[in-house]
Each structure stands twice: as structure tokens, then as C-alpha cells.
Structure 1
Amino acid sequence: MSSFYIILTGSLVAVSCAILGCFLILRKMAMVGDAISHAVLPGIVIAFLWSGSRDSVTMLLGAGALGIISTFLIEFLTNKGNLQSDASIGVTFTWLFALGVILISAFTGQVDLDQECVLYGEIAYVPLDTIVLNSGVDIGPQAIYLLGAVLLMVIAFVWLGFNQLRITSFDPQYAISLGISATLWNYLLMAFVSFTTVASFESVGAILVVAFLIAPAATAYLLTKRLKTMIFIASITGILSAIGGHFLAISINGSIAGAMATVAGIIFGIAFVYVRSKTKGDAKITSRESIVA
């Protein structure tokens, strides 16, 4: 049963990240996911210092706020500071992440809120942190319910805002002409990336969650020209990464989360080789503009 819970947890994280990652890839903002996964750290610490607890909802709110602030800072430095987008991303996430590390070391030294937990996580401990009802019935790991709720919110967000996300991803100017706020939907997307990142901290950590945000979506990006199919393939890739990573970790007695991220990279490599061999150098790899809904 422990293996089932671990695989299920990894799959929930991978699918949530894969869905959002598709839109990050199409917007050429893949590294923004990396930036946010680091930059939300001070938001988590500030939320803890303000509330005095590690309640998941409080952490998510703090992370969401910092995710939006990070996005604003990146766009401000790019548009007003005349910096290239990659430089803006680098400056923003490094100093915010450093600020979070300083806050942890200075103000939470006596609390189980440390850098290693945030960076690496430990999915093997998920089956141990269960929810026990007053009647004494154990209903399963807490992480599964949290990540399951996050996945449902991500699916609802993409389902309800699919057209807006699609249009603002491909042609922001056209979206504005239709009365759709490209900035609003960009901030909403970044907020959901932040929520998903924080919900995944204890399971896979801030660094490894980036692999789930990018690798499955990048794999799907190579294999299809349709957006809905891309989301489906990315989700399946995420699940396969979780399953394969679990058994790889068992076979080598290594990090489960790290193995899942490694398998995601291996699947991407296989897809890349397949696409290159199929095209034989004649057809171009799918471009952002050629993907349709």
C-alpha cells in the first residue's frame, strides 16, 4: 500500500505540473516556473511567521502572493528596466530565494521548516502522515487529499479558462483586441503555478518540481500539434514518470523524487530522438505557432 500511495502522490504532482507546464512552454516561460518555485520561499516563511502555523492553506496563500509578486517584478524589470527576460528571471528568483533562506535561518531555527525540506522533499514519508478521523478510522495520507484538491482546481481553472489561456498564449495582442486581459490571465496562471509548487514541496521539493513542470510538457510539445492532445500526452508522461521513477528508485535504493524527475528526462530524450529520426532532418520540430486547440 505504501508504494501505491507514493506513486499516486507523484502522479498527482506530475499531472498538475504537466497541465500548467504546457501553457508555460507555449508562452516561452518555462524558466519562470523555475523562478517561481524558488521565489515563493519567502512567502511561505512570512505566512508561517504571521500565522504561527504550518497550515497548508496559509502556506498556499503566502506562496500565491509571492508568485504574483515575482511575475510582476520579472515583467517590470523586462519592460521598464530594459533587461532581457532571462536576466530579469535570474535576478528575481535568486534574491527572493536568498531572502527566504535568510528568513528561515534567522527566524525559524526552532521549527521544522528547513531548506532541505523545501529543496528536496521526501515522498517516501507520505504514507506515514495520514489523516485519522475522530472515530479512529485512517483515511489515508494527508498529501494525497491536498494534492488531489490542487489537481481538481488546476483542471477547473484550465477547463473554465481554456479559450482565454489559449488565446493569450498564442497572441496576446489579439486577446487584448477581443477584450481579454492578457495580464490578468498571466497572473492567474502564475498564481496556480505557485499553489501547485508549494503543495508539492513536502513530496518532491522546490527544485525537483521544476522537472515535472517542464519535462512532460516539453515531451508533449515535440509529439503533437494540438493543444488539447498536448495536455493529455503531458499528463500521461507525468504519470509514467511517477511510476517508472518509483521502481527505478527501489532498484538503485536512491531518491524517489529524484528518480521520478530522471525518468521524466529520459522519456523526453526518447521522444526527442524519435521525432528527429522520424523527420530525418526534413520536417521542422513543432513550432509554437503551429499548435492549434
Structure 2
Amino acid sequence: MIAFWIILTGALVAVTCGLLGCFLILRKMSMVGDAISHAVLPGIVIAFLLSGSRETLPMLLGAGATGLLATFLIEYFHRRAGLQTDAAIGVTFTFLFAVGIILISAFAGKVDIDQDCVLYGEIAYVPIDLWVTANGTIMGPRPVYILSVVLLVVSVFIKLGYKELKLTSFDPAFASALGISTALWHYLLMAAVSFTTVSSFESVGAILVIAFLIGPPATAYLLTHDLKHMLAITVVLAIFISFTGYWMAYWLNASIAGCMAVITGGCFVGVFSIRQLIKPKGSQAITNEVMA
């Protein structure tokens, strides 16, 4: 049963992150998840200072607010200062992360709230993080319920906004000509990424969240020219990586998150190697043809 809960948690995070990661890759913003996972630190510290508690809700609210601030600053620096997206991401997350470290050392130095406990979770502990009702009934691991809700929200968001997300990812100018607000859909996507990242890294760890945001979508990107197929392949890969990664860790007696990340990289390298050997005519990644 322990294996089931760990694999299920990994699959929930991998599928949710992978679906959003598809659009991040198409927008050349795949490392924004890394930026958010570090930039949320000051929000967590401020939430603790205001609430005096390390309960999940204030931590998530504080982290989510700072994650949205990070996405706003990244876009602002990119558009107003003319910085490349990667440079804007680097400036923003290092600045906010440093602010968080200063806040910890100045105001929370004697409290167990450091970068290890707020940025890095451990998926192996999921089965013991139980949701217990007021009458003492054990409902199962709390993260599974949280991550299931996150997956549902993200799936509905992509379903309802699929056309807008596709158009603003492939051709922002054409989307604007049709009256679609590219800025609005950019911030909605970034809000979804922030929401997912913050909700996930407490349970599975920031490194695994970043791996899931980039790995499965990047692998699917090599396999298809169709966005819908890319999303479907990403989901299948996400589930496969969670299952295989857990049993690899069990066999090697190694880190579960580490093995899942290794399997993620292995899938990408395997697909890339096969493509290099086959080299089909006219081979290229997703293009604007999928918009037809």
C-alpha cells in the first residue's frame, strides 16, 4: 500500500506539471518552474511571521503570492527592460531567494524554517502525512487529496482555455489580431504553474517538480507534431516515470525522487538517440502546422 501511495503521488505531480510544461516549452519558458520554486521563499517566511504558524494553508498562500509576484517581475523585465526571458528569470529568482534568506536570518533564525524544509520535500514520507478527520477517521495521505484537486483544476483550465493557450503559444500576434489578450493568458498560465509548483514541492521536492515540468513534455516534443498528441504522450510518460522510478529506487535502495528524475532524463535521452539514428525526412518538432 505504501508503494501505491508513493507512485500515485508521483503520477499526480508528474501529470499536472507535464501538462503545463508543454505550454512552457512552446513559449521557451521551461525554467520558470525553477524560478518559482526558489522565489517563493520570502513569501513562506512572511506568511510565518504574520501567522506565527507553519500550517499548510498560510504557507501555501504566502508562497503562492510570491510565486505570482515572480512571474509578474519576469514578464515585466522581459518586456520593459528588453531582457531575454532566461536572463529575466535568473535576475528575479536569485533576488527573491536572497530576500528570503535575509528574512530568515534576521527574523526567523531560531525557527526550523530554512531552505531545506521549505523547498525540498520527500516523496517517501507521503504515506505517513495522513489526513485525519475531526472524529479520528484516517482518510489516507493528505498530499494525494491536495494534488488531485490541483490536477483537476489544471485539467479544467487547459480544457476550457485550450484554443487561447495554443494560439498565444504559437503565434501571439495572430492571437492579438483575433482579440485574444496574450497578457491575460500568459498570467493565467503562470498562475497555474505557480499554484502547481507551490502545491507540489512540499510533498515531492523542488527538484522533482522541475524535472516533471520539463522532462516529459520535452520528450513528447520530440515525438509528435500535434499539440494534443504531445499532451497525451506527456501524460503516459508521466505515469510510466512515476511507476518505473519508484521500483528502480526500491531495487537500488536509493532516493525515490532521484530515481524518478533519472528515469525522466533517461526517457529523453532514449527518444533523442532513436531520432538521431532514424532521422526521418523533414523531421522537426512541433510547428505552426498544428494550428491548422
**TM-score class normalised by the smaller sequence:** over 0.9
Counterpart in the other structure of 1:169: 169
After superposition, what is the alpha-carbon deviation per residue over 1:178-200, rounded to whole angstroms, capped at 9, x for unaligned? 22111111111111111111111
Asked if the contact 2:29/2:85 (under 8 Å) is kept, the reply is: no
Q: Given residue 286 of structure 1, which amino acid in structure 2 is its aligned partner?
A: A
Asked if the contact 1:65/1:191 (under 8 Å) is kept, the reply is: no
Q: Pick closer, same or farther for the CA change 1:101–1:252 going to 2, 3 Å.
A: farther
Q: CA deviation at 1:112?
A: 4.0
Q: Given residue 107 of structure 1, which amino acid in structure 2 is its aligned partner?
A: F
Counterpart in the other structure of 2:285: 286
Counterpart in the other structure of 1:214: 214
Counterpart in the other structure of 2:269: 269
- What SS is found at the alignment partner of 2:31? helix
Moved more, 113-122 or 3-12: 113-122
Distance of 2:143 and 2:82 partners within structure 1 = 42
After superposition, what is the alpha-carbon deviation per residue over 1:132-152, rounded to whole angstroms, capped at 9, x for unaligned? 223332110001011111111
Identity %, equivalent residues: 59
Asked if the contact 2:227/2:286 (under 8 Å) is kept, the reply is: no
Asked if the contact 1:35/1:93 (under 8 Å) is kept, the reply is: yes
Q: CA deviation at 1:292?
A: 4.0
Give runs of aligned pairs for residues 74-89 of structure 1, distance below 5 A.
Answer: 74-89=74-89
Asked if the contact 2:18/2:238 (under 8 Å) is kept, the reply is: yes
Q: CA deviation at 1:270?
A: 1.1
TM-score (norm 1): 0.93
Task: Report whether the alignment pairs 1:235 with 2:235.
Answer: yes
Q: CA deviation at 1:221?
A: 0.7
Asked if the contact 1:59/1:198 (under 8 Å) is kept, the reply is: no
Counterpart in the other structure of 1:195: 195
Distance of 2:164 and 2:75 partners within structure 1 = 20
Distance of 1:225 and 1:214 partners within structure 2 = 18
After superposition, what is the alpha-carbon deviation per residue over 1:5-32, rounded to whole angstroms, capped at 9, x for unaligned? 1111111110110010000011111122
Q: Pick closer, same or farther for the CA change 1:119–1:67 going to 2, 3 Å.
A: closer
Q: Given residue 133 of structure 2, which amino acid in structure 1 is its aligned partner?
A: L
Gaps of 5+ in 2: none
Distance of 1:63 and 1:17 partners within structure 2 = 17
Q: Pick closer, same or farther for the CA change 1:288–1:66 going to 2, 3 Å.
A: farther
Counterpart in the other structure of 2:183: 183
Q: Pick closer, same or farther for the CA change 1:43–1:288 going to 2, 3 Å.
A: farther
After superposition, what is the alpha-carbon deviation per residue over 1:95-135, rounded to whole angstroms, capped at 9, x for unaligned? 11122233234333444433113333111111111112233
Q: Given residue 241 of structure 1, which amino acid in structure 2 is its aligned partner?
A: I
Gaps of 5+ in 1: none
Give runs of aligned pairs for residues 21-32 of structure 1, distance below 5 A.
Answer: 21-32=21-32
Task: Report whether the alignment pairs 1:114 with 2:114.
Answer: yes
Distance of 2:17 and 2:211 partners within structure 1 = 9
Asked if the contact 1:45/1:104 (under 8 Å) is kept, the reply is: yes
Counterpart in the other structure of 2:49: 49
Q: How many residue pairs align between the two structures?
A: 292
Q: Given residue 285 of structure 1, which amino acid in structure 2 is its aligned partner?
A: Q
Q: Given residue 181 of structure 1, which amino acid in structure 2 is its aligned partner?
A: S
- What SS is found at the alignment partner of 1:131? strand
Q: CA deviation at 1:39?
A: 1.3
Q: CA deviation at 1:252?
A: 1.9
Distance of 1:277 and 1:202 partners within structure 2 = 40
Distance of 1:284 and 1:248 partners within structure 2 = 33
Distance of 1:140 and 1:13 partners within structure 2 = 17
- What SS is found at the alignment partner of 2:139? strand
Asked if the contact 1:167/1:174 (under 8 Å) is kept, the reply is: yes
Distance of 2:230 and 2:191 partners within structure 1 = 22
Counterpart in the other structure of 1:259: 259
After superposition, what is the alpha-carbon deviation per residue over 1:50-94, rounded to whole angstroms, capped at 9, x for unaligned? 233334333333233222221221222222223222221111111
